[in-house]
Each structure stands twice: as structure tokens, then as C-alpha cells.
Structure 1
Amino acid sequence: MVRLTADLIWTSPHFFNAVRERELDLRGNKIPVLENVGATEDQFDTIDLSDNEIVKLENFPCMNRLTTLLINNNRITRINPNIGEFLPKLHTLVLTSNRLTNLVEIDPLASLPNLQFLTLLDNNITKKPNYRLYVIHKLKSLRVLDFKKVKLKERIQAQNLFASKEAEEEAKKESVKTFVPKEAAVVSKEVQQTPKKVAPTPEQIIAIKAAIVNSQTLEEVARLEEALRSGQLPSDLIINDDATTENEMSTDDGETRKNDESANMDQD
């Protein structure tokens, strides 16, 4: 394992990513503990901590610039209850393939005032009763959960289901009682990385996130969801270069996407 030292932070790759955000790449270092994060001097919009050994999401200094945190394929089981005080502008959090198990464990995320995009795929928490409605209930600003838009119908269902504090507490208790085999909770990274589900790269996650938000039809949303399940991304979301991706993510690119779709239909 490797300590997250100031030297590691200073010598790790940093660049402008596909959406012109300044990104720090700390992935794949077998980091067990978040520490010395202040050495970033709050100079980054995105920090990629994927493919490490981190257990607790904590020890952040006040970072007023950070908007995206990629921390998939770690061992997260606990989140600092006051994380929102330190990451006030965080709007995207990728926690795919971690070890969150019970509904109560995501409660600290409610302290993030601007959290809009969250994925918890490949965590045992997703198997709990009313998981999605509970997360929608707790995280009021959420727009996309597990790459699916949060619909008004779901917000109403969540509000009705958890109309009282007692209902919320009962859901937490039921979550704890729901049996999850020990083997599933401690599954090895080799098993997590089997081909049955291919995780997209950070660049593809950003592109998919924008595409879902800007999608105009249910068919387009269904196409993106199927791409995520299969691991085969649509050709119009492949990251070729900064300029192409920036155009794809622009909120004014609707006409371009429509033309591309028409061209594909003509070819078929």
C-alpha cells in the first residue's frame, strides 16, 4: 500500500480533462487512507481516486473548487457525517464498486448541498428494500441516481413513503435486518472486476452524465441505460479528443445529436 503524501499528490498526473476541468489523477495507487489532501491547495475541479483501497470517505480540508470526486472500486464503508462542510460545491460523486451496505450509511451525503449526480452501483446497499426511493428522499438536490434521471413521480413516491420520521427509521432498521451474505460483502476486487459488468472510464462517466441530463426522449434514456449495463458505449459518446467531447457535452448540441441519429438511421 502507498500513503497519500504531499509528494505523491505533487508528482501525480494533472491535466485539463475532456470537459475542460482541471483534474488530478490519483487512481491505482493502493491508497488505504485519505490524508494530506490539503496539498492539492484546492487547485482542482476533479479528483480521481479510483482503484485504491480507501475505507473511509473523510479527512478533506475545505475545498471550495472541487466539483467531481471519482472514487469507484475502493472499499468505502463509512462517510464523514459533515462531508458537506468541506466539499460545498461537489455535484458529482461516483462510488461504484464499494462496500456500502445499509441505508443509514448514505445519510452523510445529505450534507452535500449541491450533489446532483450520484452512482452507488455494485454496492450491497442497492439491494435493500426501497433503496432508490430512500436515496431520493434523503438527497433533495439529486438529479441523476445510478445513471437514471430522478423523475417527479419518484420524488412524490419517496415523499409519501417517508412522510414521517418513524417511516424513515423503520426503513433503516429493515435495511440492517436484511441479510447480505458475508461473502458478498467482502468480495475480492478480482471478482468485482469480472466481465459481467464493465465500468466506464471517468471520461465516459462525465459524457454519459451530460447525455442523460440532455436527453430528449425516453428512447434515448433507455439506449444510454442499456449501454451502461452492457459496457458497450454508443459511438457518439466515445471520447476522441477534447474538442469533440466538449461539443458533445454542450447544452446547445441538441441539433448535432439529432443529425447524428438521423444519419445512423439512414445507414440502417
Structure 2
Amino acid sequence: MVRLTADLIWKSPHFFNTIKERELDLRGNKIAVIENLGATEDQFDTIDLSDNEIVKLENVPYLNRLGTMLINNNRITRINPNIGEFLPNLHTLVLTNNRIVNLVEIDPLASLPKLHFLSLLDNNITKKPNYRLYVINNLKSLRVLDFKKVKNKERLEAKNLFASKEVIEEIQRTPAKTFSTGETPNVSEAIEEQQTPKVVAPTPEQIIAIKICV
């Protein structure tokens, strides 16, 4: 495990990316805890924390400039309920291939007032019934979810589906995956899937498309 120290931040690559934003590259350092990001002095538009071992999206200082966080290929299961207070201008968040399981775990993202692009691909949450509509209903500012544009038809469908509190609570309780009668899940494969995350990441072309679309 590597600590995210001020020294690591200062020594990590930083550059102007393809869309002329200032980006800090912290990927692939085996970082387990987000900390000391105040050492960036809010000088970056994009911070890339991909390919680490981060478990919780928390401990983020007030970063007014930050617009994009790339945190794919980590182990995130929880998100700070008040994250929006610290990232008021975050518009793009890539959480592809993490360990988010339950729908309620993405509710804190509703506190991000300008969140337009979100990827939750390759999280177990995406296997939940009505997952996409739940996210669209809760995150009103979203324009693109999992690389697919949010359509007005989906917004209306989500609004109608989640018109009552009882429906929301029922969907939140529904297991992510069920097996039909007589079907036996492969336990060893399930354990391996939980313990060994796949290395899945947006391609450079997708990253460019993400930032252009917002």
C-alpha cells in the first residue's frame, strides 16, 4: 500500500491533456486512501486516480477548479454523503470497475450540482433491476450515463416509476442478481470475481469523448 502524500503528488506527472486541461496523473500507485489532495492547491482540471486500491471516495478537500475525476479500476464501495460540498464544479466522474453493489450507495452523488457524465460500468450495481432509471431519477443533472446519452423519454419513465417512496424502497432492497429455479451459481467464480477486479478502463478515445460531451 502506498500513501498519497504531498511528495507523491508533487513528483507525479502533470500535463495539459488533449483538450488543453491541466491533468494530474496518479494512476497505478497502489493508493488505498484518498488524502492530501490539498497539496494540489486546486491547480488541476482533471485528476486521474485509476488503477489503485481506493475503497472509499472521501477525504476530498475543497477543489473548486476540479471538473473531472477518473477513478476506474479501484475497490470503491462507499461515497462521502457530502461530496458535493467539496467538488462544486465536478462534471465528470468515471467509476468504471469498482465494487459498488447497492443503489443507495450512489445517492451521495446527487450532492454534486454539476455532475453531467457518470460511468458505473462493471460495478454490480448495474445488475440491479431498473438501475439506469434509478440513477437518472436521483441524479437530475446527468446528461450521459455509462457512455449513453440520457434521453427525455428515460427521465419521464424514471419519474413515473419512482413516483412513490414505497417503489424506491422496494427496488433498493432487490438483490443485484437472481438465479432461476434449478440453476446453481458457481461459488468459486463468484468469490474470484469479488476478490479480483477486472482491469477495465475507458479508452483514450472514450476519455476525449467524455470531456467533449460535457
CA offset at residue 170 of structure 1?
1.5
Scaled by the length of structure 1, what TM-score is found?
A: 0.72
- 1:186 maps to 194
- 1:171 maps to 171
Amino acid in the other structure paired with 1:108: P
Distance 1:49 1:210, change over 3 A: closer
Distance, in Å, in 2 between the alignment partners of 1:166 and 1:209 is 35
**Structure showing greater Rg:** 1
Verify the 8 A CA contact 1:92 1:116 in the aligned structure 2: yes
Verify the 8 A CA contact 1:99 1:185 in the aligned structure 2: no
2:135 aligned with 1:135, yes or no? yes
User: Which structure 1 segments of 5+ residues have no match?
Assistant: 215-268
- 2:202 maps to 200
Mapping for residues 1-268 of structure 1, pairs under 5 Å: 1-175=1-175, 182-183=190-191, 186-189=194-197, 192-193=198-199, 199-201=201-203, 203-209=204-210, 213=213
- 2:182 maps to none
User: Which structure 2 segments of 5+ residues have no match?
Assistant: 180-184
Number of aligned residue pairs: 206
Verify the 8 A CA contact 2:128 2:177 in the aligned structure 1: no
Distance, in Å, in 1 between the alignment partners of 2:148 and 2:130 is 16
Percent identical: 73
CA offset at residue 210 of structure 1?
5.4
CA offset at residue 88 of structure 1?
0.5
Distance, in Å, in 2 between the alignment partners of 1:106 and 1:133 is 13
CA offset at residue 94 of structure 1?
0.3
DSSP-derived class of the 1:101 partner:
coil
DSSP-derived class of the 1:3 partner:
coil
Verify the 8 A CA contact 1:128 1:178 in the aligned structure 2: no
CA offset at residue 185 of structure 1?
5.5
- 1:242 maps to none
Deviations 1:178-215 (A, max 9, x none): 689752661414xx13xxxx6333x423322257x49x
CA offset at residue 174 of structure 1?
1.6
Distance, in Å, in 1 between the alignment partners of 2:63 and 2:206 is 22
Distance, in Å, in 1 between the alignment partners of 2:159 and 2:175 is 18
Distance, in Å, in 1 between the alignment partners of 2:201 and 2:35 is 26
DSSP-derived class of the 2:115 partner:
coil
Distance, in Å, in 1 between the alignment partners of 2:30 and 2:77 is 16
Higher helix share: 1
Distance, in Å, in 1 between the alignment partners of 2:192 and 2:113 is 32
Verify the 8 A CA contact 2:49 2:71 in the aligned structure 1: yes
* Bigger RCO (CA 8 Å, 6+ sep): 2
Distance 1:91 1:161, change over 3 A: same
CA offset at residue 122 of structure 1?
0.5
Scaled by the length of structure 2, what TM-score is found?
A: 0.90
DSSP-derived class of the 1:15 partner:
strand
Deviations 1:201-232 (A, max 9, x none): 3x423322257x49xxxxxxxxxxxxxxxxxx
Verify the 8 A CA contact 2:124 2:176 in the aligned structure 1: no
Amino acid in the other structure paired with 2:82: N
DSSP-derived class of the 2:64 partner:
coil
CA offset at residue 169 of structure 1?
1.4
DSSP-derived class of the 2:125 partner:
helix
CA offset at residue 62 of structure 1?
0.6
CA offset at residue 9 of structure 1?
0.3
